Amino acid sequence: MTRRILLILVAAFASVLLLANPVSAHNTLITSDPADGAVLAIAPTQLTLVFGKSVPLDTLSIEMIDATGVRSDLSGSVHGPNGDTEVLTPLPVLSPGEVTLRWKLVGPDGHPITGRIGFTISAPPATSPATTVAAPATSPPTTLTPGVAPPLSVVTSSTTSPVTTTPVSTPTTRVAEFEEPWTTSATVRWLLRFGSYVAIMTIGGVIATTAFVWSDAWLHPLIRRSVVWSLAFTLFAGLAQLLVIASDIESTPPWAASAGVSAALGTDAGRAFAIRIVLAAALAWVVFRARMSSDESRWSASVMILLGLLATWAFAGHSRSMRWSLLGVPVDVAHHAAAAAWIGGLAIIGLVAIRETRTEELIQIVNRFGQVAAVSVAVIVGTGVVQTLRLVGTPAQLFAADHGKYLFVKLVVLGAMLKVADINRQRVSRRLRSTATTTRLVVDNLRRAMGTELVVGLLIVAVTAVMVVSPPAVAEKPPARASTTATSLVTGTSVAVGASTANTQATVTACTVSGSTMQLGAAGLDVICLQQALTGLGLLDGAPTGSFDSATDAAVRSVQASRGLDIDGVVGPITAAALGISPAP
């Protein structure tokens, strides 16, 4: 049985490694156009937001309070020509004065963030509220309606015909400030995570102890009831956490957020919670209801499902959302499996086996558990080192973020736990082997020693539940630009991010063009100068080629859209002036 389970472990870890794909980390706003604090001479017709990671449009919402104090919900957002990290949102006609925007989104990792952008219009609004956007020549002219986003190809097509995009907003009432959206408290989120960890530790501990330490453990009613309650809580917590993500999207209480479940399932964390619910139900069926040919088959199937459950914790956390996820996901599964075998085994032996077994059998159980604990600790330490390198980087970065501080506390507590456990187990084991000193007092000492380890282990789990939502030090940082602020709705902390100033001034470059009109297919020195300007704005990658290709065309259209110009991909005097490459008068 033991050999079969070990083979299953190896196969399962290999499958997790092959299926893991890199994804984004905690999302942050890098730039905005208009920029926060900008003073504009002309009312903008479009809002451009550039994030560090991909933006699921279903989870994005933007509110606006215009100069007259009227709050509106903006819609019609689409991804820009630079990919799914750029969001373009049409704006309605704006009156002179102060305008405040508040955006909110839930990233692929399930973490909600929000931020504000404020700018001032010092002149009357533009006469036309419509923004002309490029669309494929084969497509008929289309007028966008509220909530309907155009296809992504409309911005990047090289052969285009004009399409009219009507700015969309839903005015509500005159207000002085945004209403605070519903946010599930950090305490509730932590309790769900902590309870889920304890539940999976219980389930994993029972399976590991039954397979490797005490084969009669499953026969005890208390252990069976603990598995029932753990599976029930895993189901409940998985559903609750899925609804919390939906709540973050809809800005409503979780019990009223069913409309946001579909969008929540579009995030990695949401899918992980949904899979967790299914796997918990499957594990309950295998353990309690399925007819198996042998107990070995039942526990082998249980191990497979348990590893799948552990993988959902990895996919919903930093192991998938940070760098080296191909390594991080299987390492995280191994880390939590070892912790479950150790902490769960402590609970079973300390609370049940000591009271229900004879001294001779207890000695064998303690010795076998000592071997399992030694392997578990080695796996925990080894995988912990790998995760530390992934999430912290260098020792100098350990205290650069709260995540590193929590990790330091976890390491200190773990070290103390290992030392105390080693001292107690050696002392008690020596006394247990001697029949002359095997008394009830020795057994009581063993129970207290293992109980102390269990309490410290639960403290480590509690710290881990906090670390899950704390951004690590190696989270990719946006380039240094003008500062604005985004706030995590989970932790309540503010993060400085960049803000673009492209809307208020032209880009200054070291070259100027001759004045000839450029468009798709052009080539020469003027195109090189144009590409240098676009590269300076971050809209082109690589060295200038001197050829006006489709990438250059898309970048030009992006500039024209952000400046409120006609989006035709043609670089004439007006577009050249906006880019700061106009010929000297």
pLDDT, average across residues 292-319: 81
Contact 454, 198 (CB under 8 A): no
Q: What is the pLDDT of residue 294?
A: 78
pLDDT, average across residues 96-113: 84
Q: What is the pLDDT of residue 149?
A: 40
Q: Is the pLDDT reported for residue 396 higher than 80? A: no
Coil/strand/helix, residue 335: helix
Residue 239: pLDDT band with limits 50, 70, 90: very high
Contact 30, 54 (CB under 8 A): no
Q: What is the pLDDT of residue 21?
A: 40
Q: What is the pLDDT of residue 479?
A: 40
Average model confidence (pLDDT) for the chain? 74
- Domain 29-174 adopts which CATH fold? Immunoglobulin-like (2.60.40)
Contact 345, 206 (CB under 8 A): no
* Highest mean predicted confidence (pLDDT) among 94-108, 269-283, 322-336: 269-283
CATH of domain 184-467: 1.20.1630
Q: What is the pLDDT of residue 89?
A: 92
- Give residue for tokens 């095997």: 438
Handedness of CA 332, 337, 342, 347 (dihedral sign): positive
Measured between alpha carbons, how far is 282 from 305 in angstroms, rounded to an integer? 8
- Domain boundaries defined on the chain: 29-174, 184-467, 506-585
Residue 545: pLDDT band with limits 50, 70, 90: confident
Q: What is the pLDDT of residue 227?
A: 93
The number of angstroms, rounded, from the C-alpha of 71 to the middle of its chain's C-alpha atoms is 30
- Give residue for tokens 């918990």: 280
Domains 29-174 and 184-467 alike in fold: no
Q: What is the pLDDT of residue 325?
A: 63
**Pairing between strand 160-165 and 131-136?**
antiparallel
Q: What is the pLDDT of residue 275?
A: 93
Q: Is the pLDDT reported for residue 162 higher than 50? A: no
**Pairing between strand 61-65 and 97-106?**
antiparallel
The residues pairing with 92 across neighbouring beta strands, listed in sequence order, are none
Q: What is the pLDDT of residue 241?
A: 92
Q: Cis before residue 136, ω within 30 degrees of 0? A: no
Q: Is the pLDDT reported for residue 74 higher than 80? A: yes
- Residue 570 is given by DSSP the state -
Residue 390: pLDDT band with limits 50, 70, 90: confident
**Pairing between strand 78-80 and 83-90?**
antiparallel
Q: Which of 365, 375, 339 is nearest to 453 (CA)?
A: 339
Residue of higher predicted confidence among 228 and 570: 228
Residue 145: pLDDT band with limits 50, 70, 90: very low
Q: What is the pLDDT of residue 509?
A: 44
Residue of higher predicted confidence among 66 and 479: 66
Q: What is the pLDDT of residue 480?
A: 39
* Highest mean predicted confidence (pLDDT) among 221-225, 396-400, 575-579: 221-225
Both tokens of residue 519?
A: 């468009």
**Pairing between strand 131-136 and 169-174?**
unpaired
| Percentage of the chain lying above the pLDDT 70 cut | 68
Query: Which pTM was predicted?
Result: 0.61
- Domain 506-585 adopts which CATH fold? Muramoyl-pentapeptide Carboxypeptidase; domain 1 (1.10.101)
DSSP string, 497-552: EEE--TTTSPPP-S----S--B-TT-BSHHHHHHHHHHHHTTS--SS--SB--HHH
* Highest mean predicted confidence (pLDDT) among 248-252, 276-280, 311-315, 569-573: 276-280
Specify the range with the lowest mean pLDDT, choosing from 3-12, 63-72, 539-548: 3-12
Q: Is the pLDDT reported for residue 10 higher than 70? A: no
pLDDT in tens, 241-255: 999 999 988 888 999
Measured between alpha carbons, how far is 116 from 126 in angstroms, rounded to an integer? 24
Measured between alpha carbons, how far is 532 from 539 in angstroms, rounded to an integer? 10
Q: Is the pLDDT reported for residue 582 higher than 70? A: yes
pLDDT in tens, 325-367: 667 778 888 888 888 888 888 888 877 877 777 777 877 888 8
Residue of higher predicted confidence among 352 and 19: 352
Q: Is the pLDDT reported for residue 165 higher than 80? A: no
DSSP string, 364-381: HHHHHHHHHHHHHHHHHH
The residues pairing with 31 across neighbouring beta strands, listed in sequence order, are 50
Q: Is the pLDDT reported for residue 473 higher than 70? A: no
pLDDT in tens, 191-236: 898 899 889 889 998 988 888 888 888 888 999 999 999 999 999 9
Measured between alpha carbons, how far is 513 from 515 in angstroms, rounded to an integer? 6
Residue of higher predicted confidence among 358 and 278: 278
Rg over alpha carbons for the chain, rounded to the nearest Å, is: 30
